[in-house]
Amino acid sequence: MRRGGDPQDMTSFGRWTRIAAWPLQLLWYNLYIWLVVPLRRSLAAGLSFGISEGELFVVRSPLRVTVLTHWRAPYTGGLTCVVPAGTQLVALRSTPVGSKEARFAPRSQTDFARALIPASVRENPRFDSASLVLRAGEIETQLSRVSGP
């Protein structure tokens, strides 16, 4: 007799599990459709409002982000830092409703660089500025709109 048992025997483990497994597969499929898909859609939702170029925002609570460093050279770097509450950010481009992200620059580049960018970077003569790209969820929960352009 073969190791898996007789394929015609309904009590054989392999055949029985294939027959008995379809309700579990259906259950997992339904759980995926009802729980995971809506969660993914809500996480991928875009901005519920538009942003105009030059609009001013204030950080409500400390925000951990990757800051892009721009140089007077064909290079762009980045570093992770925590932007403190009260930091003012200016929108660099207009962003329509439903966008997934928006780009901001600190209102005062010198104060921002002094507080968050390491001296080895900011004192380099080729260092130019810094900017942040924030996701829609971060914008809606961590920023407050102060004024328009």
pLDDT digits (tens, 9 = 90+) for 19-76: 666 677 777 777 777 777 666 665 556 787 889 999 999 999 999 999 999 998 888 7
Identify the residue with better confidence: 107 or 137: 107
What is the rounded CA–CA span in Å between residue 62 and residue 27? 42
pTM of the model: 0.67
pLDDT of residue 1: 47
75-133 residue pLDDT tens: 878 899 999 999 999 999 998 888 888 999 999 999 999 999 999 998 999 999 999 99
Question: Which two three-digit tokens encode residue 99?
Answer: 């966008």
**Angle 5-7-8 from CA coordinates, rounded to 5°:** 115
Residue 5 — left, alpha, or beta (φ > 0 → left; ψ -120 to 50 → alpha)?
left
29-42 residue pLDDT tens: 777 777 776 666 65
List of residues 6+ apart from 44 with CB closer than 8 A: 100
- Count of alpha carbons within 13 angstroms of residue 53, beta-carbon side: 3
Question: Which two three-digit tokens encode residue 59?
Answer: 């950080």
- Count of alpha carbons within 13 angstroms of residue 30, beta-carbon side: 6
pLDDT of residue 23: 73
What are the residue boundaries of the structural domains of the chain, listed by start? 1-44, 56-147
pLDDT of residue 133: 92
pLDDT of residue 54: 92
Q: If 0-12 CB within 10 Å is exposed, 13-18 middle and 19+ buried, where does residue 51 land? A: buried
> What Å distances lie between residue 53 and 47, 95, 104, CA to CA?
15, 8, 9
